[in-house]
Structure 1
Amino acid sequence: MLKAERVAFIQKRLEELYPETPVPLDHSDPYTLLIAVLLSAQCTDERVNQVTPALFAMADNPADMVTHSVEEIRAIIRPCGLSPQKSKAIHRLSEILLAEHDGDVPQDMATLETLPGVGHKTASVVMSQAFGVPAFPVDTHIHRLAQRWGLTSGKNVVQTERDLKRLFPEERWNKLHLQIIFYGREFCSARGCDGRVCEICTTCYPGRKHPKKLHKP
């Protein structure tokens, strides 16, 4: 299969499997999405969704969040891991949103990336899912699948994001990144497929005899 054929097949199959792509992190607005994505670093979406109801019951906006101490925030989010860093980031970014952005989450990638605890991937998710701005958030899971499917030879998520943006039309980016995540969880997980098991892997590379060697980010 040529790369263009792989790209066309992957788009078609993912659209058939996942015509609807709800955001897997429970949220009600850009602020709660930002906090949920921040909490999801090195943590499952399922665990985040178990933790955020208590957090957002306590404070679901920057003004309320800053009335609570870092220790109070940490006590709630501890199950998500990295709670010392995440609690400080949540408190500080809430202060910054109030002081510099009238309490609103900025609709600008570069500005988002200046907030504590907000990296490029987190900012990309917020831009795409909260504001509908085309972005292609790439985490380690999408990086792994893109390599298995022959869409990138990138050695890190930055290179993989660049390659995926070049291969797929911009109007598909926001939906496609979620479709890839859903497919990876269901069929092409780290343990469930090594590049020779799932439908997309076997269709793209029917003659592959050995596990796909991956560049880890």
Structure 2
Amino acid sequence: MTEDTGPRPKTAYHHGDLRTALLAAAEQELIEKGIEGFTLRGVAKRAGVSHAAPAHHFRDTGDLLTALAVVAAQRFYATMKARQERSAQDPRSQFIASGQGYIEFALDNPALFELMFGSRRADFSCEDFSRPSFEAFMVLVKDVADLRGDNALDNVEGRADILTAWSLVHGLANLLIAGRLRFLEGDLEADRDGTILRALERVVPVSPRL
């Protein structure tokens, strides 16, 4: 017999990258099937591995969704910070930029946004998720504190401002994802970023305080 030197069939992942491949497949599965239709079997099939392969890295569906939520939280925080880095550094501009990043992430990753804020299937108490999630929250806290000129978490009015700002940005993101802003369809089609910017500018008056 002669030695087989022909090309080998390509696998869905390289040796040692199974976890990365499963997370990438999980994100696509979540996008197409949603939270309720998400299964380990579907992820394994999409990644081109056996049904038992995910068990090497994830105990169950909830464990995989938790790992995916960690990816989402990291991306969420990075998107907000990237917007701020590209913006002017005064408190008002930084506040508006973080809101733009918040909404940008939501619109570009609606399935992950839903996983983070509308699902109970992931373990949001795990440290790997809590860390970037807390960092993202502290971006908002710092922005509000800088606008107010105090430690916003230390007083009732400051906490109310944090709640108001978060609720408005999160609500706008949800309305945009749901397609409920039909009266703005023309504006959004012509200039989505500009329309969102104008809305966020109205959250914070020109005054240095909220």
Report which of the two has the higher share of helix. Answer: 2
TM over 0.5: no
Structure with max Cα Rg: 2
TM-score, structure 2 length as denominator? 0.29
The normalised TM-score by structure 1 is 0.28
